[in-house]
Every structure is written in C-alpha cells, then in structure tokens.
C-alpha cells in the first residue's frame, strides 16, 4: 500500500457577483409584478400573495452576503430568474468542462504535475450537464491527459469528499499514480430563484484537487490522508426530481420539484448531530480526538450549522481560525464548499498539523478525510 497525499488544490471563481441587496431587489420586483398581475385572484382568495424577501433575513438565517454566478443578467431578470447560457456545439468545450479545465490545470501546476502524470480524472458534482459522454472524459482530453480513465459521480454536496476517497484508494492500491478530482458546481441552474425560502442559498464555482503518492509529492502544501470515512442515510429532505424520466411523466420543467427543494429546518436539525458524530467517530478510529485537530474545513451551507457542529466537536465555540467560513462570500457551492475552505485556509498551517475535511448534504451523505500536513 502506498501513502496518499492531497498535493494541491485550486479554485475557479465564476465571473459575476450578486450581492444580497441586488438579489433581494430583483426578487421583490418579481413579487411586485406577480402580485399585481394576479391581484384579482389574490383578492378572491384563490391565490396567496407572494411575500418580499429581505437582506436582513438572509444574512441572519444563513450568513451569506453574496455569491458568484456564471450568468448574472438572467438570474436578476424578474421575467426570467434563471441563468442564460448559449447552447454550445458538440465540438466546443462544454461549460462545466471549461470550469473544470481551468481549475484542474491550475491544480496540476500547483502540484508540479504534468498531464503525463495523471492516471484518472473524477468529475464529481451535484449536477452533471449531461448523462454521457462523461464530463470527466471531456476534461481528460482537454487537459491533454492521454492515458488512464475518467468518470463522473454525483453524491450531491458530498460529491467531492466521496470522490477524494476513491482517489486516495486508487493511489494507495497503485491503480493510479495520481488522480485529478474536479468539482464544477453550477448551482445557479438548479436553484428556484422564485422561491423566497431558498433563493439566496447557492453560488457557482469549481474546485480541483490532486491526489498522489506521498513518495512523488513535491508541493509545499501537501497533506497526507490518514483516513477517509463515508456514510449515507436516506432522506427526502433535500431532493431534486428532475431526470430522464421527467419527459416520460409529461412533467413541466417549471414544476417546482424539478429543481432543488429542501425542508431547511429538518435538514438543520438532523444533519448537524450526524456530522459531528461522524467526525468524532472517524477521528477516534484513528486514535485522535477533535481537540487535537488544528483546523476543520466543513461543508459550507449555513453559518449556524457550522457553528453548532464546531460546538459539538469541541465543547465550545470553534474560532474562525479553527473552522474557517467562506460561505459569506461564496454561498453554498454544494460539494465544492469544504474544498474552497481547504484551498483558502491550509497553506498557513505547519508540518504535523492535523485537519479534517468534511461534507454533508443530500442523501443524507457525509464524507470526511483526516489529513496531516506533510
């Protein structure tokens, strides 16, 4: 068995920013138009008037202040309220692949690796632009990786950590010298921007991570993976029913369940204890305690969730240094969240420092990696 390390990470940031004020102004203008054009039915009691959103609520309930998106105009247009992307010909690089190639190329450069060193590409995200051919194979070709293989996988917000476990095992067992994991998340395209309960939640981004043998790692920010642990437990509390059968069920793509739907309060209540317990057990299986961990790079969905998990782990509030938050700037970026936190907040730590990367989300799914700076 080889020892596996995360030898580099990188971050592709989507080109546009939407502040909460911009988002709420667009949403409230949609509400005004909806209520005005349905005034008679609302007065007759046939339809409920929509209520306005508020910046204060969003910041208090989630900790999010802004988000990056691949298209801003379409999202903020009250007549449209979804991103607008130009269709691309098959000969052109796909949108998700474009993000992943940018992030993947940077991660390889940071690891000091070339295309010839990579034996597998895993494209792991909560939504895939198409069922096939795999996005990963298109990314593999675009990066000039001629050997090895690529495949896609989706475990919603845990896609990245689940992919990292596969990558680590491939390197440990010598089925790959190094593996590139990419997480192109275009969450803006599965978000119901007309839904006041969740219109503020998501943003777009792509992260990439290189996993390789410890013996070949040369980067200054290499983290040995001491262990990984995955867990799932079925829940309908975060769900998206869009799929290839939707057409055969004569579903309207505008049906609310064809996009992200959640029972936010239930998710909050159920997932926080699961995540804290998962991390504690994972650390214990390696003979470690949460208090020995220098930094937790947690999934970034909601500030209060991360604070609660931090308290459960440490028996006190975790400091921003112990459990850094990036969701104020990026919002929830599904599987990429914990990797952004790792990418932004790992180079300052010293050799020997311990860290935990942990995701949690739809499934439910939880994935953790315990790492030590090499």
Which residues are near ligand COA by CB under 6 A? 53-54, 57-58, 61-62, 157, 196-197, 238, 262, 264-265, 267-268, 301-302, 305, 332, 361-362
Q: How far is the CB of 118 from ligand COA (least distance, A)?
A: 29
Size (the chain), residues: 374
DSSP secondary-structure letter at 133? Answer: S
Q: Are 222 and 5 in contact (CB under 8 A)?
A: yes
Nearer to ligand COA among residue 24 and residue 208 (C-beta): 24
- Location of structure tokens 């592709």: 12
Q: Which residue is nearest to ligand COA (CB)?
A: 264
Nearer to ligand COA among residue 119 and residue 204 (C-beta): 204
Q: How far, rounded to the nearest angstrom, does the alpha carbon of residue 302 sit from its chain's CA centroid?
A: 13
User: Which of 4-38 are b and which e, b meaning 16 or more Cβ less than 10 Å from the residue's Cβ?
Assistant: bbbbbbbbbbbebebebeebbebbbebbeebbeeb
Q: How far is the CB of 190 from ligand COA (least distance, A)?
A: 10
Nearer to ligand COA among residue 14 and residue 362 (C-beta): 362
Q: Are 167 and 120 in contact (CB under 8 A)?
A: yes
Q: How far is the CB of 201 from ligand COA (least distance, A)?
A: 7
Nearer to ligand COA among residue 55 and residue 142 (C-beta): 55
Q: Are 332 and 300 in contact (CB under 8 A)?
A: yes
Sequential DSSP letters for 34-58:
HHHHTHHHHHTTSSPPPPPP-HHHH
Residues catalogued as catalytic: 157
Q: How far is the CB of 293 from ligand COA (least distance, A)?
A: 22
Q: Are 161 and 184 in contact (CB under 8 A)?
A: no
Q: How far is the CB of 198 from ligand COA (least distance, A)?
A: 6
């Amino acid at each position: 068995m080889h020892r596996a390390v995360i030898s580099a990470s990188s971050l592709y940031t989507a080109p546009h920013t939407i502040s909460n004020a911009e988002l709420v102004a667009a949403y409230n203008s949609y509400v005004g138009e909806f209520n005005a054009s349905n005034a008679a039915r609302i007065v007759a009691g046939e339809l409920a008037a929509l209520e306005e959103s508020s910046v204060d609520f969003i910041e208090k309930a989630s900790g999010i202040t802004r988000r990056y998106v691949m298209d801003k105009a379409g999202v903020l247009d009250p007549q449209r309220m979804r991103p607008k992307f130009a269709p691309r010909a098959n000969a052109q690089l796909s949108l998700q692949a474009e993000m992943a190639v940018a992030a993947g190329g940077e991660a390889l450069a940071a690891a000091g690796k070339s295309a010839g060193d990579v034996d597998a590409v895993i494209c792991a995200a909560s939504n895939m632009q198409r069922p096939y051919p795999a996005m990963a194979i298109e990314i593999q070709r675009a990066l000039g990786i001629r050997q090895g293989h690529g495949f896609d996988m989706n475990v919603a917000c845990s896609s990245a950590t689940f992919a990292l476990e596969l990558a680590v095992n491939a390197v440990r067992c010598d089925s790959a010298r190094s593996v590139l994991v990419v997480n192109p998340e275009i969450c803006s395209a599965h978000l119901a921007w007309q839904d006041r309960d969740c219109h503020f939640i998501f943003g777009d981004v792509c992260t990439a991570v290189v996993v390789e043998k410890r013996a070949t790692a040369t980067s200054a920010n290499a983290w040995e993976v001491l262990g990984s642990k995955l867990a799932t437990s079925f829940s309908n509390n975060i769900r998206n029913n869009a799929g290839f059968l939707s057409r055969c069920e004569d579903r309207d793509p505008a049906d609310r369940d064809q996009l992200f739907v959640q029972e936010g309060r239930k998710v909050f209540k159920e997932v926080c204890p699961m995540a804290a317990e998962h991390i504690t057990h994972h650390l214990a299986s390696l003979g470690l305690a949460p208090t020995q961990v220098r930094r937790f790079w947690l999934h970034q969905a909601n500030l209060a969730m991360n604070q609660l998990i931090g308290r459960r782990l440490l028996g006190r509030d975790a400091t921003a240094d112990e459990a850094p938050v990036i969701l104020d700037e990026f919002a929830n970026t599904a599987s990429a969240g914990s990797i952004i936190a790792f990418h932004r907040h790992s180079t300052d730590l010293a050799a020997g420092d311990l860290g935990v990367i942990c995701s949690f989300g739809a499934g439910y799914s939880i994935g953790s990696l315990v790492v030590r700076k090499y």
